[in-house]
């Protein structure tokens, strides 16, 4: 999934690839963040994480990810969804909300936002 968003004030462009978020400003600077993965099955030999959505909540950026863990035979063990909330423009992690996932479920992005 690839997605681009402009901040409401038009000063920053935010882009998401498979597992990386980038923030560009009009002066030419760039910041990068990789949303952390929950350690549900830390002993699992195989794990994949993918960004599935970007949204603004006030002045904060919510990055939704989907994580999948596999056993040694490549069979799925577990799936979870999470939202990492970042303060802009520093991409400072403010909060991580993770939960086991059910079919079609997305991580919530209804957390309180930072003060202006």
Q: pLDDT tens digits, the chain, 116 residues: what are they?
A: 478 999 888 899 999 988 899 999 988 889 999 988 765 555 556 888 889 888 888 788 989 888 888 888 888 888 888 888 899 999 999 888 876 655 455 555 654 444 44
Backbone angles phi, psi at 45, to 5 degrees: -70, -20
Count of residues making up the chain: 116
Strand, helix or coil at 105? coil
């Amino acid at each position: 999934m690839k997605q681009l968003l402009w901040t409401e004030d038009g000063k920053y462009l935010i882009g998401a690839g498979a597992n990386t978020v980038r923030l560009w400003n009009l002066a030419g600077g760039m910041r990068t963040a990789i949303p952390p993965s929950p350690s549900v099955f830390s002993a699992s030999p195989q794990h994949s994480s993918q960004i599935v959505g970007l949204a603004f909540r006030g002045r904060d950026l919510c990055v939704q990810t989907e994580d999948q863990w596999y056993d040694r035979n490549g069979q799925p063990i577990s799936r979870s969804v999470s939202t990492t909330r970042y303060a802009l423009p520093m991409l400072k992690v403010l909060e991580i909300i993770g939960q086991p996932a059910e079919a079609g479920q997305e991580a919530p992005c209804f957390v309180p936002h930072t003060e202006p």
